[in-house]
Structure 1
């Protein structure tokens, strides 16, 4: 069977054995509650100070929020989603030409399940297509030439989403008493686009579409499609984050948790599969350059620094080595209590 699930010519009738999770990791047939109180931030509905306060509160209490009237045209969001659906529907030999699990040398790649496909005990029900976006002129020539409008549409989308995320980060600056622009430059140098595609699944109770994780980057913007599947862990319970039309879902990443000295949380989340419909989502991640020092911002009022300084390269190595467990990765850089008291 093809590694790339989007190359499977027909919807499979039964779940392949390698996709059946151990009983303790399966979502089962539970009816999960819907997260009805997810904060909604309207970038046109209030003044800047009130928006900053809403974002700060949402990031402290829940670790995520929906944004409407964000400045990215709905028509561009729709065009981009359609382009990715076209891409995953391209002929198998074309998509396979992008197949790679090499995160260092292959800057535009598609893979299935995780980058550890050959060694993992069981597989996740997804294909992922990833490439760098910023600065656009340095990466666009590596992007797919087909669909023919891919580079034009995704290029405009990437630029607009980056502007949006930098605007959100300036609102974080307000809440943290940092100068506007603190997160510009090296702190958000890398922009990674990551698109997950899940074909219909014969038995969603036995598998997952994305591993349980928190995002290791600075900040995440997610455009969901109309098919539900995203869940976050709140107070020990998995809850559904249903799609909101024309909105972006924003997650503070683990780097923002460190820079804020633990003021913000970064939500643990996962993705369920769907038995009847394919599901495609578009993620944009802003990531620090690999060599810049990440540490709690000195201008943030509050307690002594909870974390020592590190580079994103060091952190990501700990994150991957710890099976993408945020507590394990952050624990490698956490100051001991006696160090905080000095």
Structure 2
């Protein structure tokens, strides 16, 4: 998302960004607007690891307990700022414990109408959800020095902690820290690549990700049945990549009307299941407006990625959404992404192409898709233009 031309930015006027002074290595670190907005940091020894940790402590919003002012690099042009208020809408809430025919119709109808819906009684226990939300929030409360050990600016690294987002093309930063975890199959083979703090993080994530992936796969089977595809169409390589978990953390923001937690974007994968937090913040594009998604206890918010739109020849669409900030409360959400294998070709299903309904998208591998996605940004129009026939 490009940024309109505008004059030089003024320096933030606040004396400090929380005035959080921490000692790390040989020098004192002060979390400040200048550090957050500038690639230039305090002089450090030549050790690459040391420099990365210094950048982590400078860039991570969760490094400072209080944010007294909004650094200029987070301030968006007026036409990109969130409105003062938006309508709150209850997405369809689908009870997966109901009869299969009823659930199949509800999932397909909601998917076609909104591209977003919520599911309850999905089989992931309330305890697993509660533990996952708690340990993720606890991670971002760790001392800055401990979080910094997992920080990386390498966008190809599957497990890392970073700030803002990696798929936008403008100069603005987004009010978010993110812990990204890759969960292979079996999960036990990859959990040693995750942070070892908090103490129970690996155990809790492992117990959460397997049943959550199962919910995603069951939803794909239901959608296939509703569209006339064989139920196991998405089994195997089409969902054979690592499950990716994004733990998104949005600290209290001093000026929520001037910035965003995440930009308008569509997901890159097949299907996403989100624990959206009791703190509001998710907005979905609907009929030219942005609507707030109400929180439902123990529900997953479900939406479709670009690749599912390609695979279904546009029957199901990837819908833009974004994350808001607020001044009073931190918000931590957990997004679980079902991904394809990297080199598998993905194109419109033959059953969904025919006379009067030609293929709308070209066939691509996930690797090729991601190269384009990183180049053009995550907006729906840009990605659709790149792959539409």
Task: Normalising by structure 1, report the TM-score.
Answer: 0.93
Q: CA RMSD in A?
A: 1.4
Corresponding residue for residue 35 of structure 2: none
Alpha-carbon offset, residue 4 of structure 1 = 0.4
Corresponding residue for residue 59 of structure 2: 3
Judged with a 3 Å threshold, the aligned counterparts in structure 2 of structure 1 residues 108 and 246 are, in CA distance, closer, same or farther, namely same
Q: Which residue among 343, 364, 373 is the counterpart of 1:310? A: 364
Corresponding residue for residue 332 of structure 1: 386
Alpha-carbon offset, residue 120 of structure 1 = 5.0
Corresponding residue for residue 215 of structure 2: 164
Per-residue CA distance 1:129-182 (angstroms, 9 max, x = gap): 101112113311101111111111110101110111111110011012111221
Quick check: 1:319–1:326 contact (8 Å CA) kept in 2? Answer: no
Greater mean alpha carbon deviation, residues 276-285 or residues 185-194: 185-194
Per-residue CA distance 1:288-325 (angstroms, 9 max, x = gap): 11110000111236512111211111111111211212
Which structure has the larger Rg over C-alpha atoms?
Answer: 2
| Distance (whole Å) between structure 1 residues aligned to residue 277 and residue 146 of structure 2 | 24
Q: Which residue among 116, 119, 122 is the counterpart of 1:67? A: 119
| Distance (whole Å) between structure 1 residues aligned to residue 170 and residue 62 of structure 2 | 20
Gaps of 5+ in 1: 336-342
Q: Which residue among 276, 285, 301 is the counterpart of 1:249? A: 301
Matches within 5 A, 1:1-342: 1=31, 2-8=58-64, 10-28=65-83, 30-36=84-90, 38-45=91-98, 47-104=99-156, 106-115=157-166, 120-135=170-185, 136-190=187-241, 191-300=243-352, 303-335=357-389
Alpha-carbon offset, residue 330 of structure 1 = 2.4
Quick check: 1:101–1:115 contact (8 Å CA) kept in 2? Answer: no
Per-residue CA distance 1:76-97 (angstroms, 9 max, x = gap): 1000100001111111111111
Quick check: 2:377–2:383 contact (8 Å CA) kept in 1? Answer: no
Alpha-carbon offset, residue 238 of structure 1 = 0.7
The count of aligned residue pairs is: 329
Alpha-carbon offset, residue 116 of structure 1 = 6.8
Task: Normalising by structure 2, report the TM-score.
Answer: 0.82
| Distance (whole Å) between structure 2 residues aligned to residue 301 and residue 43 of structure 1 | 29
Q: Secondary structure at the match of 2:89?
A: coil
Per-residue CA distance 1:225-276 (angstroms, 9 max, x = gap): 1100110110101110021111000001111111111011211111110110
| Distance (whole Å) between structure 1 residues aligned to residue 153 and residue 302 of structure 2 | 27
| Distance (whole Å) between structure 2 residues aligned to residue 75 and residue 265 of structure 1 | 32
Alpha-carbon offset, residue 333 of structure 1 = 2.2
